[in-house]
Amino acid sequence: MLLSLEQVTRLYGIVIGVNDVTLTLPEGAHGILGPNGAGKSTLLNLITGQLRPSKGKLTVLGHSPRDPALLRRLGYLPGSEGMYADVSAIEWVTYLTQLQGFRASDARQRACRAMERVQLADVQDRKISTFSRGMRQRTRLAQAIAHEPELLILDEAFSGLDPIARHTMTTLLQQWIAEGRSLLIASHVLHEIESLTRSFLLISGGRLLASGSTEEISRLLTSVPATVELTLNEPRKLAAQLVASGLIDSVRVEADRLHATTGSGRELAQFLAEQSVNGALEIFEVRSSDDSLQDVFHSLMKLHRGIA
Amino acid sequence: MPIHSTGYRPWNETRVAPSRRWLAITTTGVQRAWKSLWLKRLLLAALFPLVFFSIPIFFFEQSGRDPQSWTMFERAMRGMTRGTPMASILDGVPSDPTPEQFQTVRHSVWSFLLLTMLRNTQAFLMVILVGIVAPPLISQDLRTRAYLIYFSRPIDRWEYILGKFGVVAFFLLLISTGPALLLYLVGLLLSPSLSVFWMTWDLPLRILVASACLIIPTTLGALAISSMTLESRYAAFSWFAIWLMGHVAYSSLTAIPTFQAQSRREVYQPGWELLTSPYQILGAVQSYVFGFQQSNQWVWPAILLLLAITVGSLILLFRRVAAPMRA
């Protein structure tokens, strides 16, 4: 078992960082998704033992989080910088590998290998202060993988990377997963994680909203109300038909636009396609405003609160 | 054909003992600090007092063979100790001392010179050195949140603190203990026979104890200040402010009594006032370690104060370093 959380709660004074999370994860790659301030970093800090839960119990790879035996098996890339700008990249990675208990020469060897892996071997002797953001991020990844951990934990690993650097990072992590190692990656951007894993944890407001594969989460979301915006030739006529069909919860017409809220997205899409094919309506544009991750979370939050 | 697993295999080799991991923090900290040009200049400057204090030792050892040199040395020594509690070192020694009398006074003279070097020049350099090296050591890690990376490794808080302590202690050893031990060695080499060692064997130990009295509380205090802010410059400012304010407070409190005592041709022995200045507190304790100020009733409160600073700084450091981990 990779991770087991039992009613884990973390309080910062009166603010709840993580709220009563219970979950178990098998070994493999998992993505933690959530908007900013959702509690992703708090959850990762609980897993790496940086924070202690105010309540509940968690184990990682069968160990308690501050167990040195576990920390040797973890590689962690926190969301914050945490680098010394006045040293070379190789010195920094070697230093942090030494803290894993390797002798200086072994640590240097491993650091060189890690720098090669993140494709920074040719610039490894340059000071970190001269690095671009993408290079810094890859150096930080190098320190997390230099000791060949079993579980790699990444917090916003793609943050600030340009498309090329993102591709490099994605390829690297895909190789990592293909080698049979475990990965926990937190992000607030869905497509960053989609290319790495099909297993997601959705958290918001410190609560675990949903967990499962992309398909499972999509299926779950079809039962959550969504807002659809249409631009067409006869919005009032379509509004009447939609009300009569019972597919929508509410409807509003503005000039040539129609705004509808529905809990049956799939059926509504089918109905509109039929109307369009029959030639009864000319639909120029269909837009769902609920396509952002933020809205997905919003919908899930409403579901949790029993509003939906 | 056998099918081999190419999946993940954990590393099962032995690692260095956890008790030695703090050394990696110290070594890297020393290497980083070493890049400062000012630090290198300061370390070089710390060697000049060694040369300076070797001169009186030379003349002292020379005067053992030459009575005329003794007169010159005695005059110079009385000038150096005038107005200090050590003014009576040469009292009772005749102008033409016998070899036995000379041997007896050697211990006191060497102690005085070693203490004067540690107190006057090296302590001043220590304040500057710690002000350069210590402030960023913890505050930078807190500001950049590097502690998240540190503590995702199998190291404990005490290893982290010990590692950072080692950085400052290393440089303090270089500027205080090192030159003092070298001065002692110079004294041995300038003395008529190496058998002098058997009469002064306790001095290296006194140097080590006096250095510990200097290094432990000052380093922990400086690290505690560093841990209290995210800005290294605030930590540096606070460090220098503490020493400066202490000196101003002590000087203000003792200026008039010292003047009055001097007008009566007496030496003013400061009382509780010395507890207002970190420099005077360290001085009183180091003097005690070298066998001076044995009768000063304020030495023990000074020792207790240093202990309190040490323990208080340690508690603060542990709390600050553990702050992110506290439930």
User: From B145, which residue of chain A is nearest by alpha-carbon distance?
Assistant: A82
What's the pLDDT score for residue B327?
43
Decide if B99 touches A, using CB distance below 8 A. Answer: no
Q: In this model, does residue B103 exceed pLDDT 70?
A: yes
CA angle A23, A59, A152 (to 5 degrees): 90
Residue A51 domain boundaries = 3-213
Q: Which pair of tokens denotes residue A306?
A: 């029993």
Decide if A83 touches B, using CB distance below 8 A. Answer: yes
Residue A160 and residue A183 in one domain? yes
- CB A52 to CB B146 under 8 A? no
How would you class B157 by CB atoms within 10 Å of its CB: exposed for 0-12, middle for 13-18, buried for 19 or more? middle
Looking at the partner chain, which of A73, A99, A103 has a beta carbon nearest the beta carbon of B155?
A: A99
In this structure, are strands A199-204 and A29-33 parallel, antiparallel, or unpaired? parallel
Q: In this model, does residue B166 exceed pLDDT 90?
A: yes
Decide if B145 touches A, using CB distance below 8 A. Answer: yes
Q: How many angstroms separate the CA of residue A212 from the nearest CA in chain B?
A: 25
Q: In this model, does residue B298 exceed pLDDT 90?
A: no
How would you class B73 by CB atoms within 10 Å of its CB: exposed for 0-12, middle for 13-18, buried for 19 or more? buried
Residue reference for tokens 């809990």: A263
Give the other-Cβ count within 10 Å of B9's Cβ.
11
Backbone angles phi, psi at B2, to 5 degrees: -70, 145
Q: How many domains are contained in chain A? A: 2
> Which residues of B are less than 8 Å from A43 in CB distance?
none
Give the separation between CA B321 and CA B147, rounded to whole angstroms.
8
> Which residues of B are less than 8 Å from A128 in CB distance?
none
- CB A82 to CB B325 under 8 A? no
Decide if B67 touches A, using CB distance below 8 A. Answer: no
Mutate which of B149, B151, B158, B326 to test chain A, going by most A C-beta atoms within 10 A? B149
Least confident of A38-52, A93-107, A198-212, B254-268: B254-268
Least confident of A66-80, A218-232, B54-68: A218-232
**Average pLDDT value over all residues in chain A:** 86
Give the separation between CA A175 and CA A111, rounded to whole angstroms.
18
Residue A90 and residue A60 in one domain? yes
Contacts of residue A298, Cβ cutoff 8 Å, sequence gap at least 6: none
Give the separation between CA B170 and CA B30, rounded to whole angstroms.
8
Residue A80 and residue A161 in one domain? yes
Contacts of residue A100, Cβ cutoff 8 Å, sequence gap at least 6: A72, A107, A146, A147, B15, B153, B154
- CB A102 to CB B145 under 8 A? no
Decide if B28 touches A, using CB distance below 8 A. Answer: yes
Residue A58 and residue A148 in one domain? yes
What count of CB pairs under 8 Å joins A to B?
103
Instruction: Select from A213, A234, A268 the last residue of a domain.
Output: A213
CB A3 within 8 A of CB A9: no
Looking at the partner chain, which of A71, A80, A148 has a beta carbon nearest the beta carbon of B153?
A: A71
CB A184 within 8 A of CB A153: yes
**What angle do helix axes B299-322 and B135-143 make, rounded to 10 degrees?**
20
Catalogue the E-assigned strands of chain A: 3-12, 15-25, 29-33, 55-60, 74-77, 151-155, 182-187, 199-204, 207-213, 226-232, 250-254, 257-262, 283-288
The secondary structure of residue B119, as a DSSP letter, is I
In this structure, are strands A226-232 and A283-288 parallel, antiparallel, or unpaired? antiparallel
Looking at the partner chain, which of B7, B32, B146 has a beta carbon nearest the beta carbon of A179?
A: B7
Residue reference for tokens 């933690």: A32
Instruction: Select from A147, A178, A213 the last residue of a domain.
Output: A213
Residue A149 and residue A244 in one domain? no
Beta bridge partner(s), residue A201: A32, A211
What's the pLDDT score for residue A283?
85
Residue A149 and residue A118 in one domain? yes
Residue A267 and residue A178 in one domain? no
- CB B11 to CB A148 under 8 A? yes
- CB B146 to CB A99 under 8 A? no
Give the separation between CA B66 and CA A257, rounded to whole angstroms.
113
For A194-248, write each residue's pLDDT tens digit: 888 988 898 888 888 888 887 777 666 666 667 888 888 888 988 988 898 888 8
Give the separation between CA B21 and CA B30, rounded to whole angstroms.
15
Residue A177 and residue A257 in one domain? no
Instruction: Select from A192, A213, A234 the last residue of a domain.
Output: A213
Residue with the larger pLDDT of the pair A265 and A116? A116
Q: Which amino acid is at B30?
A: V
User: For residue A126, what is the domain's CATH number?
Assistant: 3.40.50.300
Residue A240 and residue A275 in one domain? yes
For B23-56, write each residue's pLDDT tens digit: 999 999 999 999 999 999 999 998 999 999 998 8
User: For residue A280, what is the domain's CATH number?
Assistant: 3.30.70
- Residue B235, CB half-sphere, CA atoms under 13 Å: how many? 26
Give the separation between CA A261 and CA A284, rounded to whole angstroms.
19
Residue A37 and residue A168 in one domain? yes
Residue A9 and residue A110 in one domain? yes
The secondary structure of residue B13, as a DSSP letter, is S
Decide if A139 touches B, using CB distance below 8 A. Answer: no
- CB A95 to CB B24 under 8 A? yes
Decide if B319 touches A, using CB distance below 8 A. Answer: no
Backbone angles phi, psi at A31, to 5 degrees: -105, 140
Give the separation between CA A200 and CA A208, rounded to whole angstroms.
11
Residue A196 and residue A253 in one domain? no
Region A103-125: mean pLDDT is: 92
Q: Which amino acid is at A143?
A: Q
